[in-house]
Amino acid sequence: MAQTSPEEEYSVLGRSESKIEKYGSKGTAYLGKTVLSAGQKPVLGRKIMVDIAEPHVALICGKRGGGKSFTLSILLEEFARQPFEIRQRISVIAIDTVGIFWTLKIPNSRDVKELEKWGLKPETTNVRVLVPSGQKKFYEDKKIPVDDAFTLKISELEETEWLTLFKLSWRDEEGVLLSRIIEKVKETMGTRYGFTEIISAIENDTDAGKLAKQALVNRFRVAKSWGVFEKEGDKIEDIAKPGQITIIDVSAYRQTVGMEGTRDIIVGLLGKKLFEQRMLFRKEEEAKLIAGQKRESAMPLVWMLVDEAHMFMPKDEQSIALSVLLEWVRVGRQPGLSIVLATQRPEKLHPDAISQCDLFISHRMTSQPDIAAVSLLRPSYMHQDFDKYYQQMPREKGYALILDDNTEKIWMVKIRPRFSWDGGVTATAFKD
Ligand SMILES: Nc1ncnc2c1ncn2[C@@H]1O[C@H](COP(=O)(O)OP(=O)(O)O)[C@@H](O)[C@H]1O
Ligand SMILES: [Mg+2]
């Protein structure tokens, strides 16, 4: 790093000293610059780069409108700008609950001056927007450019997941019937069944009462209308492709009561399949390495970015995605799975998601219960309470506190402006 002008100086967070020596700033995301002085218009210093070449558990907090989705977008822009040899080893999946990330495709012509100050200019970002197959019209009506639709294979859902999805228990008559039906279609059809087969199996059941049968048929009809499950779903390899940034837009399910569970099941199933596949491919990679070959396989490392993460990893609620994402958080490092969780309600988030994170990025927070929840993190290198740091943070948007276990430092950072159009403003018009 010696002999560089201040403009080129940088610090890499989330990466060990020895790896920084070896790789420098290769495989990092340029997030912003350090804040060097106090006050509302602080002097900015060196660039802050965050490691994305190795697995991490990152948590992005901040109150509503604090800049979490903005920071997620910066990360997505950076993934798209990696040199080819790194990009092709990584697959990025972003779960978009609000419908804002598609604007990454549009250059940020609104902030040309601000970008100029940073030596940057508006640019498009290459992302692929996928929407649930049966909800395409919703996106067309909203004029959201969609690249493709996706479906999930119905047989991937276990009976316990159906029970959770329909909020049934083993003890309900309907729950008992459901378990019997799923077992039966599996037995007779293996993995080749769809809604039609399930519904006719319910109708042909001779043990259950008429009312329970009708109620369960109705539930499956509703599930069908979500437009995400099909007899033949997409393969996970087609959803998580190497070198690609895939936006899974599930904002269609925001509007309708009773459909919230759909987002949960999409994240849960994707997370589960990706985990299973990475475990398999990891073995293949190790075998190659042992045989003296290059460590590579058809399945890339995966980064999953989850906005509004408290919905998927709640503290005191049932959720299909929860157990899957906890696996990612607890043991994802080994198979090469990274996760970035953004939430305005750390208090509502499962505590493991907080305690396991190795990269903590926080925009301003004001709610005491939320601050108390992240105080769980308080590492030994932190010399004052979170409250104090938030007080020192400039009021303007775009500042963040970053805790980095590798450098054992706390950084106050100004997030860089976006290359791409900020959909946050537009998205509020979509809500409710
Ligand atoms: N780093 C930033 N620089 C400039 N404006 C920002 C920045 N972060 C956020 N904003 C502004 O604040 C708005 C809300 O940010 P957003 O990321 O949507 O908040 P959150 O996801 O935390 O609710 C954005 O639309 C944007 O206009
Ligand atoms: Mg947001």
Segment 159-194, tens digit of pLDDT: 998 998 898 998 999 999 999 999 999 999 999 999
Q: Distance, CA 161 to ligand 2 centroid (Å)?
A: 28
- HSE-CB for 127 with a 13 A CA cutoff: 32
Q: Is the pLDDT of residue 256 over 70?
A: no
Ligand closest to 117 (CA) is: 1
Structural Rg of the chain based on CA atoms: 23
- HSE-CB for 176 with a 13 A CA cutoff: 8
Contact assessment for residue 260 and residue 253, using Cβ atoms and an 8 Å cutoff: yes
Name the residue of 70, 401, 412 to mutate for ligand 1: max ligand atoms within 8 A of Cβ: 70
Q: Is the pLDDT of residue 17 over 80?
A: yes
Phi, psi at 21, each rounded to 5°: -60, -40
Confidence bin at 363 (pLDDT 50/70/90): very high
Determine how many CB atoms are found less than 10 A away from the CB of residue 269: 22
Average pLDDT over every residue of 20-36 = 96
pLDDT number for residue 167: 87
Residues with CB under 6 A from ligand 1: 62, 64-70, 397-398, 415, 422, 424-425
**Span 291-329, pLDDT tens digits:** 887 766 666 799 999 999 999 999 988 889 999 999 999
CATH superfamily of 6-151+234-369+386-430: P-loop containing nucleotide triphosphate hydrolases (3.40.50.300)
What residue ranges do the domains of the chain occupy? 6-151+234-369+386-430, 155-229
Q: Distance, CA 98 to ligand 1 centroid (Å)?
A: 14
**Span 47-74, pLDDT tens digits:** 999 999 999 999 999 999 999 999 999 9
Q: Distance, CA 364 to ligand 2 centroid (Å)?
A: 13
196-226: burial string, b at 16+ Cβ within 10 Å, e else: ebbbebbeebeebeeebbebbbebbeebbeb
pLDDT number for residue 7: 60
